[in-house]
Every structure is written in C-alpha cells, then in structure tokens.
Amino acid sequence: MGFTIGGIREIRSGTRRRGRLAECTTVAEFTGLWGWDVVPGARAAGGACSCGRPDCAAPGAHPLDFAPLVPAGATLDEVSKAWSEFPGASVMLPVGRAFDVLEVSEPAGRLALVRLERMGLPLGPVTATPDGRAHFFVAPGAAADLPRLLYRLGWDDPAALDLRGLGPGTHITAPPSDRGGLGPVRWLRPPALDSASRPPAARLLLGALAYVAHRSRG
C-alpha cells in the first residue's frame, strides 16, 4: 500500500520536529549543563552561506549577525524559543568567556591527546573539525598569554609551530554541527562535569602540544 501525499508530509514534518528537538536538547546541554554561551551560526551549501552575503569570507563558519546570544544557564524551553527563530542554524560557541582554545592539526592533536592522557594531566573537551584541526579547551586568557608561555618553554619562534590560540572575539563550531559545508565537527574528548566549566590552564598542556605540533611539521 502506498503513502498518501498527506502521509508523506506528516512523516517529513515529524522528522523535522524530532530534528529540532534534538538540536535544542544539544544546545540546552551546552548552556545548562556545561555553562557555555551559544550563538546560532550560518550554514553553507554549494559554497554559498546562509547569511546571504555573496562576498562572505567564511561561508558556514561564523555566527549569524542578527541572532542573539543564548546565555549560559538557559533552559530547554528558553533554548527552544530562541532557536525556533533560526531553524537549522549551526551551533557556535563564543571563545574567551568560559574557555579559550589551543588549535593544532588534527593528527598532532590526536597524538598529543594520547600523550597527555598517559601523563595523567587534566584535560578539558577536545574537538576535531572537518578541515583537519583539533581544538583543546583551556582556561580563559590562554590566547593572550600564549607567546609568553611558549617562550618560557623554549619556543622563541611561535611561527615555527602549527599551534595558535583562539581567544575573545572568535567562535568555534560545536559538535555535531556542520562547519563550512565540509561535514560535522566531532568530539575527540567530550565534555565532563569536572572540566567543562573549569578547563585546565594552558601551561599544563602546552609542552606536549608544542612538542607534537613541532614534530608533526617536520
């Protein structure tokens, strides 16, 4: 027996509702459980950005200018109300508030993560982007302090490392959102209650990250 047109529409509508609920639940977990602010972000398809600007410099990889921030502590109801205005938006996290980010190549990040876990050092969340980068969440202030920290570790030429700090004014795409039309961002190490709201100081991870990043470039 075939489906009626009305049945197909009902199934598609139900699928969309389940998708929106899952999306809102994820955002509410970020705001309510991990204590992170969230911003609706643009999506990309066929190289075009949903922001509508033909000259967009970062298609599908930036916050929507007209979308308000959803603050840390927002409930599922509050998130659902806010996100209903921007269905299908990617989930983006402002950097420099609850955390800064140390970015390396994904291969270097995976090697460093294994090394850091074996050393028993404290770790926060870690993500992998579809363009081959790894993001280590660390305590705020790391990006501004990175040159000094690297110098103290003996790296007097930070440009020689494929390692950079992301701080205030930048945003990262959160899993499982698509970034730039390239695919989803993934967790290499998901958030945990003991580290999401209190990520480790960058100095605890930087030695291993810098060493592996340098070796990876060679």
pLDDT tens, N- to C-terminus, the chain (218 residues): 333 344 334 323 433 555 678 889 999 999 999 999 999 999 998 889 999 999 999 999 999 998 999 999 999 999 999 999 998 899 999 999 999 999 999 999 999 999 999 999 999 999 999 999 999 999 999 999 999 999 999 987 777 789 999 999 999 999 999 999 999 999 999 999 888 889 999 999 999 999 999 888 75
Which residue bears the tokens 């302090």? 145
> CA 138, CA 196: separation in Å to the nearest integer?
9
Give bridge partners of residue 172 from the DSSP assignment: 93
Q: Are 68 and 37 in contact (CB under 8 A)?
A: no
Could you give the 3-state DSSP secondary structure of residue 47? coil
Long-range contacts of 42-45 (CB under 8 A, 24+ apart): 42/89, 42/90, 43/88, 43/89, 43/90, 43/178, 43/181, 44/178, 44/180, 44/181, 45/181
pTM: 0.89
CA distances to 25, 31, 49, 86, 204 from 19, in Å: 10, 19, 21, 13, 39
Give bridge partners of residue 173 from the DSSP assignment: 92
Helix (H), strand (E) at residue 10: helix 5-28
CA distances to 27, 68, 155 from 90, in Å: 10, 13, 36
Q: Cβ–Cβ contacts within 10 Å for residue 163, how many?
A: 25
